[in-house]
Amino acid sequence: MPAVRLYDTLTRQTVTLQPRDPDRVSIYTCGLTPQGAAHVGHMRGAVFFDVVRRWLEELGYEVAFVQNFTDIDDKIIRRSSEEGIEPAEVAKKYVQLYLEDLKLLGVRPAKWVYVTENMDAIIEMVQKLVEGGHAYVAEGDVYFRVESMPEYGKLSHRRLNDMQAGARIDVDERKEHPMDFALWKAAKQGEPSWDSPWGPGRPGWHIECSALSLKELGPNFDIHAGGVDLVFPHHENEIAQSEAYLGRPEFARIWMHWGAVRLAERKMSKSEGNVLAARQAVETFGSGAVRLFLLSTGYRSPIEYSDERVAEAKQALARVHASLDRARQVFGDPDPAGPKSDAHVANFSQAMSEDFNTPGAIAALHGVIGELNDLLADGAEDRAGRASELVRTAEWMMGILGFEADQEGDFGQLTTELMRLIVGWRNEMRRERLYAFADRVRDDLKEVGIVLEDSVEGTTWRRS
């Protein structure tokens, strides 16, 4: 297999991927806290790692890809209060919407793992840390003792004494050190809780991913990934508690982090109040355009969202499809088993194997389309063989980049557009106080398998 090189946040170097198991790559990415509709920022990592998986599989690797849902959290509890439903129902509702959004974008499913389904593994890990002296109990809470790990700070390249400023820490006199972080939180009145050796409670944020990744993939798995905002404190804490638990520095081999999607020069974030729902972007521009926009900048760099940039991506993808359609009309459908263009394949492969350089891969695709357009302009019917090679090459590239999501036909896009109109009509009915008719629309849609759900953010729809 060709060598794949990628940037490792831990060493700050580009390294060659050498999987723990020669024919299998194991990947864990930190997933969603399902407490609201997913925005475009949530989709950058999802789309990028969908391409990573496709390329590794193209090279012949089996890929074990695991992603978690933090389905119990302070934010979920707050949303539960706002919507008047149980926290578990909040999580279930927004998990379903997220999975539908991924499907719209052509992202293939991961192995999804849920915090609430893995409490035994989490509690076992916390208990071993306490027994080993790496954690301590304080009135039902359990804290990790950061000073027990001399290399704490090695991922973010910070010194313990320098990292308090700007960190998300709570002032708590029960802590031995201000940077000690919660592994287990004692239950509060009215909140969901699970029994533990320290009393009823629920896990802290950081312990969840350590326990789930080790349970699913085992120690020394190949790639641990997440947004760049997770480097500190989340991933830093994961490394410390996992290496303390294992007793050796063999948690994850390589750390990858993608840059934030920005809107109006600020990170797209619910807490910032500057988000654009992923579904809205897909409804407006189409899934292929959103994918192309998200892949058009190197994954480690931030990317600035604008409608203009996604519209440009839509036009660029439309030109690719138009060229391929025209080539099929002029030269006929290519033999799927026929050869591809070696030179163009080499350009694409070099880009993808050098830190998953998707802008370079997209440039290679445009190179194919450029040559194909030259053949079409020449009108040289005797070049049908070369044209077939180029069409096959372009289709192969598009499959790896995931643009075949737009080739499933117009029905899925038509459904999305129709539902956007129906939701708008129903919102207008409610503004006009036509509640009986609005409820009838909701009930009729439910009969055919479409659920409308009203929340503080507006009305969303999903398949039942």
What global pTM score does this model have? Answer: 0.86
- Same domain, yes or no, for 458 and 416? yes
Q: Are 91 and 127 in the same domain?
A: yes
Residue 293 pLDDT exceeds 70 = yes
Contact (CB, 8 A) for 265 and 306:
no
Judged against a pLDDT cut of 60, whether residue 408 lies above it is answered with no
Please give the helix or strand (H or E) that residue 315 lies within, else none: helix 307-331
Domain shared by 416 and 448, yes or no: yes
DSSP one-letter string for 99-143: HHHHHHTTPPP-EEEEGGG-HHHHHHHHHHHHHTTSEEEETTEEE
28 touches 66 (CB < 8 A): yes
| Within-domain flag for 285 | no
Tell me: the pLDDT tens digits for 346-381? Answer: 999 999 999 999 999 999 999 999 999 999 888 666
pLDDT of residue 407: 43
Whether the CB-CB separation of 213 and 224 falls below 8 Å is answered with yes
Residues 442 and 373 in one domain: no
Burial bucket for residue 454 (CB in 10 Å: 0-12, 13-18, 19+): middle
Residue span of the structural domain in which 58 resides: 5-258
Considering only CA atoms, which of 288, 283, 281, 270 is closest in space to residue 306? 281
Mark whether 241 and 389 lie in a shared domain: no
pLDDT at position 166: 44
Are 222 and 248 contained in the same domain? yes
Give 234's DSSP letter: I
What are the residues whose beta carbons fall under 8 Å from the beta carbon of 428, sequence distance 6 or more? Answer: none
Residue 122 has pLDDT above 70, yes or no: yes
170 with 42, same domain? yes
**Same domain for 49 and 184:** yes
The answer on pLDDT for 406 being more than 50 is no
Q: Positive or negative CA dihedral for 18, 23, 24, 25?
A: positive
pLDDT tens digits for 61-85?
999 999 999 999 999 999 999 999 9
User: Which tens digit of pLDDT belongs to each residue from 158-171?
Assistant: 988 776 644 445 56
Residue 282: inside a domain = no
In the sheet with 266-267, reading across from the earlier edge strand, the strands are 266-267, 261-263, 303-305
Which residue, among 165, 144, 161, has the nearest Cα to 239 in the 3D structure?
144
Domain count, the chain: 3
Residue where a domain terminates, one of 234, 258, 282: 258
Same domain flag for 119 and 154: yes
Across 390-397, average pLDDT = 96
Shared domain for 126 and 87, answered yes or no, is yes
Using the 3D structure, point to which of 407, 426, 454 is the last residue of a domain: 407
Alpha carbon distance 82, 84 (integer Å): 6
**269 located within any domain:** no
Closest CA to 152 of 223, 241, 30: 241
Q: 396 with 418, same domain?
A: no
**Please, which pLDDT band fits residue 344 given cuts at 50, 70 and 90?**
very high
Pair (76, 223) in one structural domain: yes
Mean pLDDT of the residues in the chain: 91
